[in-house]
Amino acid sequence: MAIRTLLLSSYAEYLAVEQSNVGLERTNVAPLLEDEDRNARLHLYPCPIMLQVAFPELDFINRWCWQNFGPEHGQCEQSYSDYPACSIDPPHCHVGQWMSKWFVKTDYNFGFNEWYFCSLTQYDRFHAALPTFNWGEKYPVQ
């Protein structure tokens, strides 16, 4: 058995948390730029799913995505992962069928991350696998 803390979430829930965070001083421009960046991602990968996850879950899920969908699109961050899926030394990029974006930390090593897929088939497969995602083999329950 492994540790599991992920929560199915939404972009709207992320925005609500961001707006309620008193410690974060955001200008009126920042949310608009963020929405533009997200819209650009959605144009290429129109099937998003937002989760609240711990960092180990993020790495575990990204490894699962690499194993099931191939490399993540964009700058490769796998050298920082607890569960690296790529053995190429940084810096480098990949062209892939999916991508993810870390939005904000809401607690110690926990926060919002959104995954983007190019097809509903990928989205459905990811969604079906949600119950199997956890902190992984490096974090067994004692």
Using the predicted structure, report yes or no on whether residue 23 has a pLDDT greater than 70: no
Asked if residue 43 belongs to a domain, the reply is: yes
Using the predicted structure, report yes or no on whether residue 22 has a pLDDT greater than 80: no
Domain count, the chain: 1
Contact, 8 vs 114, CB < 8 A? no
Asked if residue 77 belongs to a domain, the reply is: yes
Asked if residue 88 belongs to a domain, the reply is: yes
- 32-57 pLDDT, tens digit each: 567 889 999 999 999 999 999 999 99
Closest alpha carbon to 115 in 54, 42, 43: 42
Asked if residue 111 belongs to a domain, the reply is: yes
Task: Please tell me the pTM assigned to this model.
Answer: 0.89
Q: For position 27, what pLDDT does the model report?
A: 47
- 99-113 pLDDT, tens digit each: 999 999 999 999 999
